[in-house]
Structure 1
Amino acid sequence: MRALLCRQYGPPEHLTLEETESPKAANGKLVIEVKACGVNFPDTLMIQGRYQVKPPFPFSPGGEVAGIVKEVGAGITHLKPGDRVFALTGFGGFAEETLADGHKTFPLPDGMEYGTAAALMYTYGTSYHALKDRANLRAGETLLVLGAAGGIGLAAVELGRMMGARVIAAASTDEKLALCRQAGASDVINYSRDDLRERLREITGGQGVDVVCDPVGGDLTEAALRSVSWQGRYLVVGFAAGQIPSIPLNLPLLKGCSVVGVFWGAFAEKQRADNGNNVQQLLTFYQQGHIRPHIQVQYPLEKASQALREMMNRQVLGKVVITP
């Protein structure tokens, strides 16, 4: 089979497309013939050695896949060869075949395309866990989403609207903000042009925001935290800006607010039943028409390095999917 391999840490251009041996199903694991694999920001960190998970060399990036079960290992009873599935793999998805854990693999609903399924788990799984489990977002509250045109950001905009919140989307271009409005944002802020804190004061009438979803980090963090209302919740989701910010700890004290970490991968592993319930709920939302992953483009495996570069350069609106 073919796989895009990382043999040493570096930029996407150092990855090589090679012929390699097919994986074998082991106890609790299965082999999936990959039809689609989502591209996510952690993939770009993993190939540079900057992610908390460091697979042994050589490895393929790609943490969420959809495809057909090829082989089932011992202990797996809910799936069989030939089943259409989607799975959280962590890595290994930029290949024609990959291994997946049985408890992180789910049947694909009838009518759902492989590309759509491969664009669902990371972004919507993370955002739903963030808003539902970590922030306890309630109808009528105000939600600020930073990096709102990215995969996690757009998912948070859609889910926040569906959960009854007033959603303020912040992004770096008017093109991105137009997409956020289509996803359900009530108000938008172009933070490459406008002062984030001042615009939030105008939009909220000085009341501030109840919840901040921040997958960006960097220079925007402190301004957004200063805009949180009394007993608000600041969700630390990631650092797409490349900088892990430092914050004045007097701000949570003065605002009585919470700074809450969101690590969906660990949640999916440590609270398997809760994560399974969330996945099933997301599938229901999709079937009811409440959420629709925005896929900017689908690339063949030969262009996976280009997809990673576009992700690193923050050129992606929504999701990019690789189709081996």
Structure 2
Amino acid sequence: MAKTHGPTDIKESALELIGNTPLLALDRIWPGPGRILAKCEFMNPGASIKDRSSLSMIQRALTSGKLAPKAPIVEVTSGNQGCGLAVVAAIMGHPLTLTMSAGNSPQRAAMMRALGANVMLAPQVEGKPGNVTLADVTEAENLGLKLVADTGAYYVDQFNNDDNSKAHEETTGPEIWRQTGGRVDAFLATVGTAGTFAGVSRYLKRKDRDIHCCVVEPAGAEVIKGDPITKPLHLLQGSGYGKVPSLFKFDTMDSTLGVSDEEAVHYKDLLGSKEGLYLGYTSGANVAACVKLLQSGKLPKDAWVVTLLNDTGLKYPADN
């Protein structure tokens, strides 16, 4: 007699593991009133939220004909976008070269290389290890643009690529709406390229204009708020570069909140000791800002506040 089998659920590649991350209640850090709900973006295969935009930007470039199949790709990164692109490039068969400031965490460079990418480190010109400024990013960008000019490779250009924010408008935002049953009082996110904040806030505002959308910035580098920069060096890698990103639009922003390095570290540590999650500094900053907003009195006492747990703590040097 022939064997019978049940239904299968087998993914064809790691690309199918991108997105549809769980929404987790952080009730141990914030027992109420109200609730902090966080998207577990560290569970993507490249271990960060940037996997979403990496897949979107490459798929759309292929569809439009800007990128040929198997053709070389170049991008400038602080590490997470590079890891996401390395996942996508490995599966799709694209040679990938990534330029990054030497001040970004070496763990990210190691991961990108392990995924098959060629990683070129630009020397720091202003910051120090773990603290990368706009000038350092510009140095990495100049290196990347020279490679594009010399080789003709496709330049992803995450800071100016609309397909970055479309990824979140089409996936992250709808997932949040579905997972909360349409109950979202506020959404908070740190801003690097602004792709995540722009895309998610655009989707949520279409669903309900009253959803409070708040930008989280490093204290002392709050350019979206409009304050002068007094602390260009901070721990929030991939965020707070000291200029308003081109993908950012003020029309979906209701407020901003500044978070100090100390607050980011405190809530990063609480995510570990209370919620069992070893995450990066922007995740700590996002949670710190959620607590501040809930304590501010600007929201109903029973508000559901949604944020993002952007990446794993394994992408950073171990704390001394």
Q: Same fold (TM over 0.5)?
A: no
Between Structure 1 and Structure 2, the one with more helix by share is: 2
Question: So what's the TM-score if we normalise by structure 2?
Answer: 0.36
TM-score by length of 1: 0.35
